[in-house]
Structure 1
Amino acid sequence: MNSTDSMSSRSFLLLLLILFGTLSLLFVLPFLQPVLLGGLLAYLVYPVNQRLTPRLGRTAGSTVTTLATVTVIVAPLLFILGAAASQAATLLRGAELPDSEALDAFSQEQFGTNAPTVDSLSGPVSNAVQTGIGGILGDIGGILGGISAFLVGAFILLFTLFFLLRDGDKLIAWLRNVLPLDTETTDELFERTNDLLWAAVIGNVIVAAVQAILTVLGFLVIGFDNLIFWGVATFVLSLLPVIGASVVWIPAVIYLVFVGSIPEAVGLLIYGTFIISGSDNIIRPLAMERGAKLNSGILILSIFGGVAVFGFIGLFVGPVVFGLTKTIVELLADERPEPSSS
């Protein structure tokens, strides 16, 4: 085969790659979140699978690890989220609203005697509620479709988790073989990817979990209810840089001041400042030691951008994508030819 035929063949293969690669991406996009979550879970429990595989074999070891992950991580997480949602609903139901007479008096005081009363608005409000209920009841098919989508997503998540645990090393070896990079550059790219995943998945989760536990302990001593909700809220907010757990415990301090619990407010203020938020300064550098360093502004953008594109899983994916972009730029800079001296 001459050089012309070789170039023609390569061009045609590249065209086929673009075509089928685009189709493959379109197939994956509807299930991107469960695929990414399955990949993150596989990364998290991979060390356990590596210990089981020599004893049980690839398939049996991956099966046991997958079942253990569902039992120890996924099922308790779903239970906690369900309990947090229930407690959030309890908090909303427990909020005290002014009665109709108080609302009528306030309305007339502000807008005069011709101001509409609660009773005069009850008819239109009732009709609006009935219309809303009718819309909800008419959307049963959408709800059932959502359940089906959840089941499909759960299956794909478990499928991704199992096969990455069983054949993840083969995938890495294949990528090393097909990437058009020298061995040194490939090793550095994989090493930095591993560091980014560690920081995003394990480091951030450790920091957020510690702050959530400390917040729940403080609220427990003070006597707050709905601790699961407050723990979940603190955990999620602690994943966000700059914001952190203070968004939960500072409003709690303000609430205690308003209800007259001054000693409790002072105690929570001290505890929150030095223990809850202070722990971030100690734990985060240790947990994120392996991570690639990103500017705080870029880190915030990567997290919120990741959430906008990928949903909740973007909290972890966003920093990895930005970090890999930074890594690739640095590797390209290292490959620049040295300027020739005249």
Structure 2
Amino acid sequence: MSSADGGATFLRALLLVVGALAVLLVVPFLQALLAAGLVAYLVAPVKERLAARLGPTVGTTATILVTVVIAVVPFAVVVGVAAEQALAVARTASLPDAAAVQADLRPWLGLVPMPDALTGPVTDALRTGVLGLLGGALGVLGGIPGFLVGTVVFLFALFYLLRDGERFVAWLRGATPLDPATMDRLVARTDALLWAAVVGNVAVAGVQAVLTVVGFLFIGVENVVFWGVATFLLSLLPIIGASIVWVPAVGYLLLVGRVPAAIALLVYGAVVVSGSDNLVRPLVMQRGTDLNAAVLVLGIFGGVSLFGFVGLFVGPVVLGLAKTLVDVLAGVSDGPTDSR
């Protein structure tokens, strides 16, 4: 073996070791890094305009500040309000006479003797339950430092992806042993998948959530922020969409005797809310690609289980890109869309 071959082998072995260590270092912050990549992809056009006037560093900083003020803060407020209203919905859904039933049964329960043999296990079970609740609360508090560290990683990654993203892509092009045509195809396909998963589906879900909230406000439904967030999340799933929220609402209105409101919501939900998909999706998908329903569902659920919330958008992209890599290796050309 020549010295050149030996040096190349050593470098490959060293790259394997260092690469494995790098993966171990990155994995704890993978969610923050993926979220930074998605946000950088969305706000890159804003950064380019600001950087042309203010310079790359100042323009990137201004873009992050604008993103935090316009997007992150309202998002945090909406999530907080939705969480409070979710608790209110849970309390409303409980049986209204549960306390009265428990009060009526308490004298009879006192007549049932508790064997001494069960006193110890019952006490231990109660103690375990209390300790479990305390442990869960402490776990949430203990997770705050990790959240803060993840936020710092997210902000730093977002800054450098925005400022040096083009240089990073150029480095990938030079370091990847692919011909320019294949690399251009992968980059274009990744862009189309990101647009479909992040922009296209989010836009459709957002429109349906807003329309659902408007309809609920019109018929006097309470806790509309919670129902709007629930509609948004469920609308990310194909076929199911917003109907899983407004259809049960129609049934509830019928049960409580509000027949005109139920009929109005049924017509509004079928024509306006669900029909908005046919109007909005073609508009936002002009740049992207129509993801296959199976790929979308598997990508969303698999992405959430693997990456957390950010997996809602990363999962479908990963599956779509895997299909593209198979097509490249098999010599299959991309069609105009992933037909349903």
TM-score (norm 1): 0.88
Take 1:136 and 1:328, find their aligned partners in 2: how far apart are those partners?
Answer: 47
Describe how 1:148-187 pairs up with structure 2 within 5 A.
148-187=145-184
Are residues 213 and 140 of structure 1, via their aligned partners in 2, closer, same or farther at CA, if it must alter by over 3 Å? closer
Q: Which residue of 2 aligns with 1:6?
A: 4
Q: Which residue of 2 aligns with 1:56?
A: 54
Residue 212 of structure 2 contacts residue 228 of structure 2 at CA under 8 Å; is this kept in 1? Answer: yes
Name which of structure 1's ranges 180-189 and 277-286 shifts more when overlaid on structure 2.
277-286
Take 1:28 and 1:193, find their aligned partners in 2: how far apart are those partners?
Answer: 22
Aligned partner of residue 84 in structure 1, secondary structure: helix
Describe how 1:81-92 pairs up with structure 2 within 5 A.
81-92=79-90
Are residues 119 and 83 of structure 1, via their aligned partners in 2, closer, same or farther at CA, if it must alter by over 3 Å? farther
Q: Which residue of 1 aligns with 2:321?
A: 324
Residue 200 of structure 1 contacts residue 319 of structure 1 at CA under 8 Å; is this kept in 2? Answer: yes
1:99 and 2:91 equivalent? Answer: no
Residue 237 of structure 2 contacts residue 296 of structure 2 at CA under 8 Å; is this kept in 1? Answer: no
Q: Which residue of 1 aligns with 2:336?
A: none
Take 1:262 and 1:272, find their aligned partners in 2: how far apart are those partners?
Answer: 15
1:204 and 2:201 equivalent? Answer: yes
Take 2:316 and 2:172, find their aligned partners in 1: how far apart are those partners?
Answer: 22
User: Which residue, 230, 235, 240 being the options, matches 2:232?
Assistant: 235
Take 1:49 and 1:70, find their aligned partners in 2: how far apart are those partners?
Answer: 14
Are residues 14 and 234 of structure 1, via their aligned partners in 2, closer, same or farther at CA, if it must alter by over 3 Å? same
Deviation at 1:20, TM superposition (A): 1.0
Name which of structure 1's ranges 39-48 and 17-26 shifts more when overlaid on structure 2.
17-26
Residue type of the alignment partner of 1:222 = I
Aligned partner of residue 61 in structure 1, secondary structure: helix
> Which digits, 9 at most, give the CA deviation of each residue in 1:58-92, with x for residues without a partner?
11111111111111111110110000001111112
Deviation at 1:266, TM superposition (A): 0.6
Residue type of the alignment partner of 2:55 = G
Are residues 121 and 53 of structure 1, via their aligned partners in 2, closer, same or farther at CA, if it must alter by over 3 Å? farther
Name which of structure 1's ranges 61-70 and 4-13 shifts more when overlaid on structure 2.
4-13
Take 1:133 and 1:14, find their aligned partners in 2: how far apart are those partners?
Answer: 54
Describe how 1:18-167 pairs up with structure 2 within 5 A.
18-97=16-95, 98-99=97-98, 102=101, 117=109, 131-138=128-135, 141-167=138-164
Residue type of the alignment partner of 2:49 = R
Residue type of the alignment partner of 1:48 = V
Describe how 1:147-296 pairs up with structure 2 within 5 A.
147-296=144-293
Residue type of the alignment partner of 1:90 = A
Deviation at 1:130, TM superposition (A): 6.0
Take 1:121 and 1:319, find their aligned partners in 2: how far apart are those partners?
Answer: 58
Q: Which residue of 2 aligns with 1:113?
A: none
Take 1:325 and 1:172, find their aligned partners in 2: how far apart are those partners?
Answer: 19
Deviation at 1:118, TM superposition (A): 8.7
Deviation at 1:292, TM superposition (A): 3.5
Name which of structure 1's ranges 125-134 and 321-330 shifts more when overlaid on structure 2.
125-134
> Which digits, 9 at most, give the CA deviation of each residue in 1:129-181, with x for residues without a partner?
66533443356643332111111111111111111111111101100111101
TM-score (norm 2): 0.88
Residue 57 of structure 2 contacts residue 163 of structure 2 at CA under 8 Å; is this kept in 1? Answer: yes
1:314 and 2:306 equivalent? Answer: no
Aligned partner of residue 147 in structure 1, secondary structure: helix
Take 2:67 and 2:324, find their aligned partners in 1: how far apart are those partners?
Answer: 31
Can you give the 5+ residue segments of structure 1 that lack an aligned partner in the other structure?
108-115, 337-342
Deviation at 1:334, TM superposition (A): 1.9
Residue 250 of structure 2 contacts residue 266 of structure 2 at CA under 8 Å; is this kept in 1? Answer: yes
Name which of structure 1's ranges 320-329 and 116-125 shifts more when overlaid on structure 2.
116-125
Residue 100 of structure 1 contacts residue 118 of structure 1 at CA under 8 Å; is this kept in 2? Answer: no
Residue 211 of structure 1 contacts residue 238 of structure 1 at CA under 8 Å; is this kept in 2? Answer: yes
> Which digits, 9 at most, give the CA deviation of each residue in 1:21-55, with x for residues without a partner?
11111111111111111110111100000001121
Q: Which residue of 1 aligns with 2:337?
A: none
Residue 292 of structure 1 contacts residue 323 of structure 1 at CA under 8 Å; is this kept in 2? Answer: no
Take 2:160 and 2:216, find their aligned partners in 1: how far apart are those partners?
Answer: 42
Q: Size of the alignment, in residue pairs?
A: 326
Are residues 48 and 221 of structure 1, via their aligned partners in 2, closer, same or farther at CA, if it must alter by over 3 Å? same
Aligned partner of residue 181 in structure 1, secondary structure: coil
Can you give the 5+ residue segments of structure 2 that lack an aligned partner in the other structure?
334-340
Identity in percent: 53
Root-mean-square deviation (CA, aligned residues, Å) is 2.7
